[in-house]
Structure 1
Amino acid sequence: MALHALAGTLFTVQTVAGILANFSLLYCYVSLCLTGFRFKTTDVIVQHVTVANSLIMLSKGIPQTMTAFGVKHFLHEFGCTYILYIYRVARGVSIAATCILSVFQAIKTSPMNSSCKKLKTKATSYVGISIFLCWILYMCVNLIFPLFSDRNLNFKNLTRRKDSGYCSTWLKDGITNSLYIVFIFLPEILFSGLMLWSSSTMICILHRHRTQMQHIRKARLSPRPSPEARATQNILTLVCTFVSFYTLSSTVYAYISAFDISSKWLNNIFDLISTCFPTISPLVLMNPDHTVKKLWTKFRQSIRCTSHLC
């Protein structure tokens, strides 16, 4: 009983913190948007990451918290199917948008004489359409859940159920799983590889810039990094946080799947890790040097100004 209470407490703290943090950012962005504020390209990408993370916390965090407190199978097959659909779409978009943010910042910080010279001028116009296509792609691909989940479709490849605690779904073998692996897991591996490449590129650029600026710092100029360097460091922190938790959750999931383990604690650990990034990412974005912090300050100033009718 004490173990159930501990698990429930951990899930509750994580879910409440993640929902409050993500919705605070969304409230800030929506309010500034209504005032006609013009966002930078990186802010637009962060908005999509925040929306996706909010959906993850709602579709994954709340059900797993209720399950941890002993409330099980409260979703019927229809609800279970669409909760999983929303979660998978949001997870895919979160990964893709974080990758786009990392690659965009790497292109933006690259020297003008590099091979990315042409991309520096066109990257901004490609960001919006890229994120839009990510939403459409994952919404279409993940239709495999609502279209092929009904037991009444008389599929012969329905084998056994997977119990998620709050609901259970039929597992399928053969071509359905193969297509899902091709369209879901391979792109995730590709996005992770792109994030590692862009992060390495940004680290090299920052190191080279720091080396070049050492003699200027000796001339008693401020040692504080430039705004662009600070933004790059914050995006690197965000990407490293994502890659760390994604790798850890994938490792735990692979271990559970490979050995067909049904340990409740291992599944709880996997669920906790899989929602760590949506919980922590808003806190990374709210650090004092990030643009979101500055936007939040401007938002409070606009509210204070409105209250005084200025």
Structure 2
Amino acid sequence: MNAPSNYSLTPTVGRGMVAGRPDIAGTRHMASAGHYLASLAAFHVLEDGGNAIDAGVAAGLALGVVQSDLVNVAGVAPIMIKLGKTGEVVTISGLGWWPKALDPTLFQREHESHVPRGILRQIIPAAPDAWLLALERYGTMSFGEVATSAIRLAEGFVMYPLMADYITTFKKDYAEWSANSAVYLPKGEPPKAGEVFVQRDLARTLRFMVDEESKASAKGGRVAGLKAARAAFYEGDIARAITRHHEENGGLLRMEDFAGYRSAIEAPVSLKFNQHTVYACGPWCQGPALLQALS
């Protein structure tokens, strides 16, 4: 779904009306994301004077809310950026590391060389660090400004059929963890399409990061605020809540894992394909596999 500026809709010509996606055009800017509400979040940022990086972070945060069954605010966030002034392409890794306490032979010895379902497969959450690094290096806005839509959506959005069907399909899996079932199985059942779906704890988490940013930026400016938002997640109450859950449920993540994590800014991998250069993120994602498929 695209959210353009100064858009125009091309009507269907012929007998009767045909439902479908209209052609959309813009003259100032355009945003596209995996869900129309994320596109709208990015579009609002662009309309408010933000740049493409600000808008991209807003869309990514919103996707972690409206597609939290597939992606997550505390998940991964590989980022690729083309710098407008120089044309240089850079990537931000946005993929977490394994906990330091993980024995490299554990999965071979006890799980037949497979990563098991459950808490042992969780790596350090990388997305918040990646988004904040992108804002600091290439953006113009505060975390609070780009997170506004995500917070509002976490306070409630209308459940749509695809997400409702997914939760229903995996109801048994969600029910295994009380924290998951409290969100995705309210009153013990999956939310129905058309109902308002609320993620209060997620809204509270994002708002806490914004509050910490606001206090720091009032004294030290924008960059100090971004660093405070990061510290709120990786060094404060949020990290403590996650690591406490790990300690109580056989997980391995600890506070030192959170405190030591940093996303890296890296050059992309690339491939000449016909008359074009195709860029992709590095070996910590599926980028090289895409290029191998094209070669």
Shorter-chain TM-score bucket reads: under 0.3
Q: Name the larger-Rg structure.
A: 1
Bigger strand share = 2
| TM-score, structure 2 as length reference | 0.25
- Return the structure number with greater relative CO, CA threshold 8 A, min gap 6: 1
| TM-score, structure 1 as length reference | 0.25
